Amino acid sequence: MKILVTGGTGFVGSHLVEKLLTQDHSVVCLVRDQSKAERLFTREKPQFVVGDLDATDALSTAARGVEAVFHVAGLTAARSRADFHRVNVQGTQTLVRIVAAKAKDVQRFVHVSSLAACGPTPDGVAANASSKPQPVSQYGWSKLAGEEAVRRSDLPWVIIRPPTVYGPRDTELFRIFKLARTGLVPVLGTGEQSNSFVYIADLVDALAACLNAPEKATYFPSHPGIYTQRELVHHVSRALSEGATSARVIGVPELVARSSLWLTGTFARLLGRATLLNADRANDFLASAWVCSSAELERDTGWRPETDLPNGLALTAQWYRQHGWL
């Protein structure tokens, strides 16, 4: 099958491309930096088309004749609401329009969204396809609006909303690994926020399974294990030091957390930089729970998550060591 992947050099996208190549698919990657892409894929290489979601000519070239699309590209941090809208909403709208025009035989358009599009789950009930979306950040609203662009199309779409994704090459959770090595890990709030997780290898298996999933379905790929922030830090510590004493979790009170996020976001904006640490994301960081259920995905595709958090973190730590990150 000829498959287009956007965001193919990112954390999720690069693992997905490698998975699809092992399944003997012909993969086309839309990339902004071909030299980076060439360095990343050292064995089998996909076809590269240089461009981004604003480049209609590049999108037209990349989409021509493909039979499936995985739309992974998107912004998780932005300097403004307008930047989120330009990439996560308008970029998705443009891609949908071009795929509809250039890929007449497309069998699946798999849109990688986020649990943020659904919003937190303060009552602790796991989110599923019937949950009412209630995003609490500009990022979450932009991902939901991107989903709507896909739903309004005539394409045979599948939307997938991962929770926290981690594994080799991940730079976000790597920050907790670095802090855990110091023995102290500050967290915003009490440290009791509950979270669902999915290991990267399980996620790309879920994405590949979506090629055969029913059309017009929304799924949450996650491992059934739910862990608090304190438990996450404990398991990171064990992955680092094979059972030594856990790093100490320092909870940052809500008022201090919100003030710190406002200051960090303001400085970043003045410097023209994007950061996850800003006032808009405070409601994300301070929510009581971000949990979801993969029951519908398992029912429809037979996919099963194989890696729980402790084992996944151990594998991640091993990769970090092997590649000189730790």
Give the side-chain half-sphere CA count within 13 A for 102. Answer: 21
Quickly count helices (H) and strands (E) in the chain. 13, 13
Rounded Cα distance between 181 and 97, Å, is: 47
Pick the CATH number of 2-165+198-223+291-306 from 3.40.47.10, 1.20.120.160, 3.60.70.12, 3.40.50.720: 3.40.50.720
Domain definitions of the chain by residue range: 2-165+198-223+291-306
- pLDDT tens track for 135-157: 999 999 999 999 999 999 999 99
Rounded to two decimals, the pTM is 0.94
Per-residue model confidence (pLDDT) at position 44:
86
Per-residue model confidence (pLDDT) at position 242:
59
Rounded Cα distance between 291 and 110, Å, is: 22
Per-residue model confidence (pLDDT) at position 325:
94
Q: Per residue of the chain (326 residues), what is the pLDDT tens digit?
A: 999 999 999 999 999 999 999 999 999 999 988 888 888 888 888 999 999 999 999 999 999 999 999 999 999 998 889 999 999 999 999 999 999 998 888 999 999 999 999 999 987 789 999 999 999 999 999 999 999 999 999 999 999 999 999 999 999 999 999 999 998 999 999 999 999 999 999 999 999 999 999 999 999 999 999 999 999 999 999 999 855 668 899 999 999 989 998 998 888 888 888 888 888 999 999 999 999 999 999 999 999 999 999 999 999 999 999 999 98
3-state SS string for 24-77: CCEEEEEECCHHHHHHHCCCCCCEEEECCCCCHHHHHHHHCCCCEEEECCCCCC
Rounded Cα distance between 258 and 277, Å, is: 10
- pLDDT tens track for 42-55: 888 899 999 999 99
- pLDDT tens track for 261-315: 899 888 888 888 888 888 899 999 999 999 999 999 999 999 999 999 999 999 9
DSSP code string of 109-158? EEEE--GGGT---TT-PPB-TTSPP---SHHHHHHHHHHHHHHTSSS-EE
Residues 6+ apart with CB under 8 A from 77: 139, 274, 275, 276
